Structure 1
Amino acid sequence: MSTDPSAPDAAPTVTPKAAYHHGDLRAQLIAAVRELVETHGPDGFSVAEAARRAGVSSAAPYKHFKDRHEILRGVVSEAMDRLRAAMEAGAAAHPHGSLEAVAAVGLAYVAFARAEPGVFRLVFGLTEGHENAPDLLAKGEGCFGVVVRAVAARLELPAGDGQVQRRAYMLWSFVHGHSFLTIDMKHKVASAEIDDWDYLVSISRAILASAAQA
């Protein structure tokens, strides 16, 4: 996938069921649902099946979640935390303010999508009720904030500067589109193989160079 040796592992392996502790039932269920979403999609599993995978009774999930939709929102919330951590680790693996630090943020994003396409789709497809979920909105802004800070450092401008905000959004748009095209296998319509790292470095260089010219 990538030729960058410092690329972070965006999606850690789910903890085996045997290692779970029933005292952490919420995390246990979220891990089980993550597995099911990858296998069956967000609409293809039952709460009872998740409970069986977690090794608890079918009634146990409702001690922490009021319904199936709330369990999926829990999966989204946890996934956004992991995505942000991976993006931050990507930037931190390269010199502050470097082009590589910017590209590595995008690489972590693409790597997450490749590793967990079902959960990645869920994060951006579960829109119902988000206007009433300030916690999820804040986490989305936190992920975008990683891009903004990397761009600001590269351009040596404040994070709130208009150029920084615009270029960060442009970069996120390119990376987000590339991620979906990749997991949908539509990137194969290209006539040449596209290496993620080369692509992200090239896009970062082009967008940030145009900012300097502006």
Structure 2
Amino acid sequence: MKSLMKKAKSNYHHGNLAESLLDAVDEIATQFGLEAVTLRACAKLVGVSPSSAFRHYADKRALLTAFATRALHQLSNAMATAKSHAYDHGNNAFLAVGLAYIEFALDKPAFFRAMWREETIYSNDPDYIAASHQLSSHLQGGFAETIDDKDPNSFSPQEMLAWSSVHGLANLFVEGPVGKGADKEEKLQMALEMIQALSPALQNEQV
């Protein structure tokens, strides 16, 4: 924890305490799990008083809500960026978006775990709802517009197949049953092969 504290303190600047506290959540949750996160621990890691932290977040649940909101935004952005990059370079966009989803989970396991843990957040928070809707629009909108979408307001069987497959593998990687002992590149290769195996079922739907 001391090394984490030194790093976090060096990154904190006056005026961005709310964001620095979210960085502290990531540091603590990645190493010790979300259960270890408290406002006091985050304040200590950043190097401020608990009272300063409480000015931004009323309680742990509010802190984790903001953390989950950030996670949803980051995953949405990762999917959109992967799609745009694939189209710009003439690559398979469906494959790129699926890999981006799984890579996000591998790079940011604490964010991935936090996104839909409604028992630990305020799921009626307006910012969280907006971020959740943004991600849902990607998933319902033809898996970030990489497969044909006949109704952007609901999940088609093809969209559910795509999402459940990549989310399921990402979760298996993060929680450990699959890929134990494998490094990130090996896991991404496994993901690539799974998505390629999935593609024939969606071949007529890909755009």
The TM-score normalised by the length of structure 2 is 0.78
Q: What is the aligned partner in structure 1 of residue 23 from structure 2?
A: 31
Select which of 167, 171, 194 maps to 1:180.
171
| AA partner of residue 136 (structure 2) | F
**In structure 2, how many angstroms separate the alpha carbons of the residues matched to 1:73 and 1:153?**
28
Task: Please tell me whether the aligned partners of residues 80 and 144 of structure 2 are also in contact (alpha carbons under 8 angstroms).
Answer: no
- Where does the alignment leave 5 or more consecutive residues of structure 2 unmatched? 1-6, 181-186
Name which of structure 1's ranges 118-127 and 57-66 shifts more when overlaid on structure 2: 118-127
Task: Please tell me whether the aligned partners of residues 105 and 147 of structure 1 are also in contact (alpha carbons under 8 angstroms).
Answer: no
Structure 1 residue 37: Cα displacement: 1.1
Structure 1 residue 135: Cα displacement: 3.0
Mapped pair 1:195 → 2:186: no
**In structure 1, how many angstroms separate the alpha carbons of the residues matched to 2:84 and 2:43?**
38
Q: What is the aligned partner in structure 2 of residue 44 from structure 1?
A: 36
Q: What is the aligned partner in structure 2 of residue 6 from structure 1?
A: none
Q: What is the aligned partner in structure 2 of residue 9 from structure 1?
A: none
Structure 1 residue 16: Cα displacement: 5.1
SS at match of 1:103: helix
Task: Please tell me whether the aligned partners of residues 140 and 153 of structure 2 are also in contact (alpha carbons under 8 angstroms).
Answer: no
5 Å matches for 1:113-152?
A: 113-127=105-119, 130-151=122-143
- Compared CA separation, residues 150 and 17, structure 1 to 2 (3 A): farther
Q: What is the aligned partner in structure 2 of residue 12 from structure 1?
A: none
Q: What is the aligned partner in structure 2 of residue 104 from structure 1?
A: 96
Structure 1 residue 34: Cα displacement: 1.3
Task: Please tell me whether the aligned partners of residues 101 and 150 of structure 1 are also in contact (alpha carbons under 8 angstroms).
Answer: no
Select which of 70, 80, 86 maps to 2:72.
80
Q: What is the aligned partner in structure 1 of residue 203 from structure 2?
A: 209
- Compared CA separation, residues 116 and 69, structure 1 to 2 (3 A): same
- CA deviations on 1:163-191 (whole Å, 9 max, x unpaired) are x73311221111111111112221259xx
The TM-score normalised by the length of structure 1 is 0.76
- CA deviations on 1:20-74 (whole Å, 9 max, x unpaired) are 2121110011111111111221221332221111121121111111111111111
- Compared CA separation, residues 129 and 70, structure 1 to 2 (3 A): closer
- Compared CA separation, residues 99 and 172, structure 1 to 2 (3 A): farther
Task: Please tell me whether the aligned partners of residues 65 and 123 of structure 2 are also in contact (alpha carbons under 8 angstroms).
Answer: no
- CA deviations on 1:135-157 (whole Å, 9 max, x unpaired) are 32332232232234455854555
Kindly tell me the number of residue pairs found equivalent between the two proteins: 192
5 Å matches for 1:4-19?
A: 17-19=9-11
- Compared CA separation, residues 159 and 102, structure 1 to 2 (3 A): farther
- Compared CA separation, residues 137 and 201, structure 1 to 2 (3 A): farther
- Equivalent pairs: percent with the same residue? 24
- Where does the alignment leave 5 or more consecutive residues of structure 1 unmatched? 1-14
